[in-house]
Chain A
């Protein structure tokens, strides 16, 4: 993104955000698997597949835009 300043690309920070949130949300989804929260459509276990999606995106972004010397 930056030619003059050599700043870490913003996409890397996006990847970090996805990765951390993915781990937290997936972990939460697995932990509540047998006792789903009292929300509509809780039986779909949205946190599990949404968290997994975030982890995949996080890994891709962090890998593709990791800071280089």
Chain B
């Protein structure tokens, strides 16, 4: 213990041994080697942007989950678990599983049958250029900002754990990502995401195993938390949410159910192209339906390596962590540093290298996901329809490769912006709220109601996005607005984001319906394959029960309910 405290005082937690460095370097060599190996296979647009549409359900499903398991995810949510307790697990369970199952069973057939390259591409088919262009531009901005946040998160880990210079970490890792994604396109991104998925599990799983051993199991951990933080409930998910002031997050259960589960998570998991792109790479429609459902089971398990280490930090760390700030006094650590602190606590040479590599891999996979999605949306949804139509396929592949590099440099710039943010996750949640929540309303209405018009889709999306930005600015400006829009002055950052999503999506739906009712609908012939009532989705009557996506979707939902009851 004193050794750990001693290391904290020197400004770095640990110095990597030769074996740790060998582990890190081997990972860089392997992903670069894979990137160059895959370059020969990424020749056409479909290869480069959609990995040839030949991934199995398992590969697409793992990449689907892994694209969301970057270093931002690991550090931010472990930090949130330390700050808010097990409430943070809502973002993995009710805030993810229903949306993933919904994507697989309801929405995926429309994306897949329409053969679109992207979510804005679906909007192009359903609503035309205006809504598609708006969505593509907002998505491109969001993706690049996300990429910068991810990059910053990784550089902070390197600074805290190893004492490496932030600039060095960002530039070396991001240039590596740029090389292998520019070489192999989505093939490279997906391969790296699958590798990263296993690395993260095997790099982080020792923390909960050894942590629970140290505390004497779950019960012992809870007792220690109660001793360290008397009077606060960090270990129940629904019980403390009967009022805004009875839980550390300052959120009411309505915010979780209506803001997170019904709007924000649905928006993220079903319309954020970064994750949907992985599923679009599936080899057939059954694989495309199964991929998000397979992913949902893995997603349900992620709290074991993200939330539990945060809770264990509350129980065993000798110091109290503090809110994130760029100017922490020496010896003090922020919430987002809880995972590296736990890693250093239990892992010596070799295991430490594995854990650090897992975090670096998380960053690189997250960044690869962002830049590959950015390259696709820029090339197919902005460049091709608005700047250069009808060019040869090779021209667009070349544009995708250049875009990957340019997007990377823009991300590096945004990483420096992220350093000024008070909390990483608040920053990202705000971005989700701006664009994703209203987009979900637009896409869902377009899929389920054939009457919705082009004008309705565009104006609804625009109104929802503007509402989101306005609410965000108002709530940042004065607590008075927090009390109005987030229903309580007690609501903190994450809680505010939930209500911001709810109101922006509601605005989008209302405006879309009102404009639709006064504008002329498109003829049915133009909407075949795009709308529920005009699309023939092949039924799997002859498949056995274990081969039916609906069976596994129901199983995932049943497991979700059981988890809620256990941790109520």
- A contact residues vs B (CB 8 Å cutoff): 1-5, 7-8, 10, 13-14, 16-18, 20-21, 24-25, 27-29, 32, 36-42, 44, 46-47, 50-51, 54
A sample of 14 inter-chain contacts (CB < 8 A) reads: A3-B54, A13-B191, A17-B199, A21-B26, A21-B202, A21-B354, A25-B23, A25-B354, A32-B349, A39-B344, A41-B346, A42-B348, A46-B347, A46-B351
A13 near B206: Cβ-Cβ < 8 Å: no
CB distance from B287 to the nearest CB of A (A): 11
Chain A CB count within 10 A is highest, among B17, B59, B198, B213, for: B198
A39 near B52: Cβ-Cβ < 8 Å: no
Complex: chain B residue closest to A61, CB-CB: B198
B191 near A10: Cβ-Cβ < 8 Å: yes
Q: How far is the CA of A60 from the CA of B67 in the complex (A)?
A: 26
A1-B55, A13-B30 known; A21 and B348 CB under 8 Å?
no
B210 near A41: Cβ-Cβ < 8 Å: yes
- B contact residues vs A (CB 8 Å cutoff): 1, 3, 17, 19, 22-23, 26-27, 30, 34, 37-38, 41, 47, 52, 54-56, 59, 187, 190-191, 194-195, 198-199, 202, 206, 210, 213-214, 283, 316, 344-351, 353-354
A2 near B52: Cβ-Cβ < 8 Å: yes
CB distance from B206 to the nearest CB of A (A): 6
A1 near B56: Cβ-Cβ < 8 Å: yes
Complex: chain A residue closest to B347, CB-CB: A39
B202 near A1: Cβ-Cβ < 8 Å: no
A47 near B195: Cβ-Cβ < 8 Å: no
CB distance from A61 to the nearest CB of B (A): 9
Q: Is the interface of B mostly helix, strand, loop or mixed?
A: helix
From the candidates A1, A7, A28, A54, name the one contacting B349 in the complex (CB within 8 A).
A28
A13 near B349: Cβ-Cβ < 8 Å: no
B347 near A21: Cβ-Cβ < 8 Å: no
From the candidates B52, B59, B349, name the one contacting A4 in the complex (CB within 8 A).
B52
From the candidates B38, B59, B350, name the one contacting A29 in the complex (CB within 8 A).
B350
Q: How far is the CA of A29 from the CA of B353 in the complex (A)?
A: 13
Cβ of B27: which chain A residues have Cβ within 8 Å of it? 17
Cβ of A50: which chain B residues have Cβ within 8 Å of it? 202, 206, 351
CB distance from A67 to the nearest CB of B (A): 11
Q: How far is the CA of A36 from the CA of B563 in the complex (A)?
A: 38
CB distance from B527 to the nearest CB of A (A): 31
A14 near B195: Cβ-Cβ < 8 Å: yes
B206 near A40: Cβ-Cβ < 8 Å: no
A-B residue pairs, 8 tightest by C-beta? A37-B348, A28-B350, A25-B350, A38-B3, A28-B19, A47-B350, A5-B41, A10-B194
Cβ of B344: which chain A residues have Cβ within 8 Å of it? 39
Cβ of B54: which chain A residues have Cβ within 8 Å of it? 1-5
Complex: chain A residue closest to B193, CB-CB: A10
Complex: chain A residue closest to B202, CB-CB: A54
Cβ of A27: which chain B residues have Cβ within 8 Å of it? 19, 350
Complex: chain B residue closest to A15, CB-CB: B198
Cβ of A7: which chain B residues have Cβ within 8 Å of it? 38, 41, 187
Cβ of A21: which chain B residues have Cβ within 8 Å of it? 23, 26, 202, 354
From the candidates A18, A28, A40, A54, name the one contacting B210 in the complex (CB within 8 A).
A40
CB distance from A26 to the nearest CB of B (A): 8
Cβ of B56: which chain A residues have Cβ within 8 Å of it? 1
Q: How far is the CA of A29 from the CA of B246 in the complex (A)?
A: 46
Q: How far is the CA of A17 from the CA of B194 in the complex (A)?
A: 12
B214 near A47: Cβ-Cβ < 8 Å: no
- Given contacts A18-B202, A24-B353, A46-B206, list 4 more A-B pairs with CB under 8 A: A25-B23, A32-B349, A39-B345, A54-B202
Complex: chain A residue closest to B30, CB-CB: A17
CB distance from A22 to the nearest CB of B (A): 10
A16 near B350: Cβ-Cβ < 8 Å: no
A1-B54, A41-B210, A54-B202 known; A17 and B345 CB under 8 Å?
no
Q: How far is the CA of A47 from the CA of B422 in the complex (A)?
A: 37
Cβ of A51: which chain B residues have Cβ within 8 Å of it? 350
Cβ of B345: which chain A residues have Cβ within 8 Å of it? 39-40
A41 near B213: Cβ-Cβ < 8 Å: yes
B195 near A17: Cβ-Cβ < 8 Å: yes
Chain B CB count within 10 A is highest, among A18, A28, A32, A54, for: A28
Cβ of A24: which chain B residues have Cβ within 8 Å of it? 19, 22-23, 26, 350, 353
CB distance from A37 to the nearest CB of B (A): 3
A44 near B210: Cβ-Cβ < 8 Å: yes
CB distance from B172 to the nearest CB of A (A): 20
Cβ of A44: which chain B residues have Cβ within 8 Å of it? 210, 213
A13-B34, A13-B195 known; A5 and B52 CB under 8 Å?
yes
Cβ of A25: which chain B residues have Cβ within 8 Å of it? 19, 23, 350-351, 353-354
Q: How far is the CA of A27 from the CA of B41 in the complex (A)?
A: 37
Cβ of A17: which chain B residues have Cβ within 8 Å of it? 27, 30, 195, 198-199
Cβ of B191: which chain A residues have Cβ within 8 Å of it? 10, 13
B348 near A36: Cβ-Cβ < 8 Å: yes
Cβ of B349: which chain A residues have Cβ within 8 Å of it? 28, 32, 37, 47
CB distance from A48 to the nearest CB of B (A): 10
Cβ of B59: which chain A residues have Cβ within 8 Å of it? 1, 10
Q: How far is the CA of A19 from the CA of B68 in the complex (A)?
A: 26
Cβ of B194: which chain A residues have Cβ within 8 Å of it? 10, 14
